[in-house]
Structure 1
Amino acid sequence: MKKPMPEQEERQWATGVHLAHIAGYIIFFIPFFGLAATFGLWYWRKEDSDFFNDQGKEALNFQITISLALLAITFLTVITTGMWSVGSLVILGANDYVYGTGLYQIALMWNILRYLVNLFNIVFSIIAAVQASKGIRYRYPINLRLVK
């Protein structure tokens, strides 16, 4: 049987698992790296501490939720800008000014939403990390609890 993890160490690991996704922002050219980093850290240490296991699952579920939201936004961006561009080409012709303006506005709307989701991710992950460093079991306000 493994020796139990000291409380200070489990707090440090729990803080780290909440912040692991930030590696995805640093290494931005690898899709879902932040999700993989969170999963890897949780999977590696989940047996060592109940507190860490709980916070690791919470962080992993939150990163899955954020990833699904970003995938949905990307899908909607492709669908709506694609539909607009096809409709504009058929009705107005390829060189019409309205085509570019409308496409830009729709893409801008989805990109603003994408940035807000990423900001939400960073802010609440930092809040979770601070709470975990104090030994408090944090729960994200929006979280699909898929990993039990």
Structure 2
Amino acid sequence: MIDEAQTVVDAGLPGPEARQWAMFAHLSGFLGCLIPFGSLIGPLLVWQLKKDQDPFIDDQGKEALNFQISVALAGLLCVLLMVVVIGFLLIWAVIIGAVILMIIAAIKANEGKAYRYPFCWRIIK
């Protein structure tokens, strides 16, 4: 009988635990719904705690953190633009877009595929 983990290793994909932690890195952005700055703290914690275990977790953790930084900056810009009313509409576009992209990224990471967010400023290399 062939073990699933061995099949994954043979296929060149990350192992199931690495895929799971990469998925958690993307989904941890939802912590911002519960605690202030949680959308930044969540991916940062997952990345810092697990980056040395697997290169896939390191890559996806950085990607998730960079995306959450980009979303935070876009949200800040929307708040500033609320002075001229357009910010009220743009903030909803940012929130909906971020939720959709985080879910897509989590699904791709769980499949073992490295995901790159569009419209992301990659500060952390």
Same fold (TM over 0.5): yes
Please state if 1:128 is matched with 2:98. no
Could you tell me which of 111, 115, 130 is aligned with 2:88? Answer: 111
Task: Determine the structure 1 residue equivalent to 2:31.
Answer: 23
Moved over 2 A (4+): none
The alignment yields a C-alpha RMSD, in angstroms, of 1.3
The answer for unaligned runs of 5 or more in structure 2 is: 1-13
Mapped pair 1:47 → 2:37: no
After TM superposition, the structure 1 = structure 2 runs for residues 75-90 of structure 1, keeping only pairs within 5 Å, are 75-77=80-82, 80=83
Higher relative contact order (CA 8 A, sep 6+): 1
Identity level (%): 40
Number of the residue aligned with 1:33: 38
Q: Secondary structure at the match of 1:72?
A: helix
Which amino acid letter does the alignment assign opposite residue 17 of structure 1?
A: A
Taking structure 2 as the reference length, the TM-score comes to 0.84
Distance 1:66 1:34 in 2: 9
Distance in 2 between residues matched to 1:55 and 1:38, nearest whole Å: 9
Give a deviation string over 1:80-127, Cα, whole Å, max 9, x none. Answer: 35xxxxxxxxxxxxxxxxxxxxxxxx2xx3222101101100100100
Question: 1:33, 1:8 → 2: CA distance?
Answer: 26
Alignment partner, residue 10 of structure 2: none
Distance (Å, rounded) in 2 between the aligned partners of 1:64 and 1:8:
27
Q: Distance in 1 between matches of 2:93 and 2:37?
A: 18
For residue 21 of structure 1, give the secondary structure of its aligned residue in structure 2.
helix
Paired with 1:38 and 1:75, the residues of 2 have a C-alpha distance of: 25
Cα distance in 1 for residues equivalent to 2:21 and 2:76? 28
CA deviation vs aligned residue, 1:47-71 (integer Å, no higher than 9, x gap): 1110000000000000000000001
Q: Give the C-alpha shift of residue 34 in structure 1.
A: 1.2
- Tell me by how many angstroms 1:142 deviates: 1.1
Which amino acid in 1 is paired with 2:28? A
Q: What residue ranges of structure 1 are gaps of 5+ in the alignment?
A: 1-5, 82-105
Question: When the two structures are superposed, what TM-score results if normalisation uses the length of structure 1?
Answer: 0.72
Mapped to 1, the partners of 2:65 and 2:18 lie a distance apart of 17
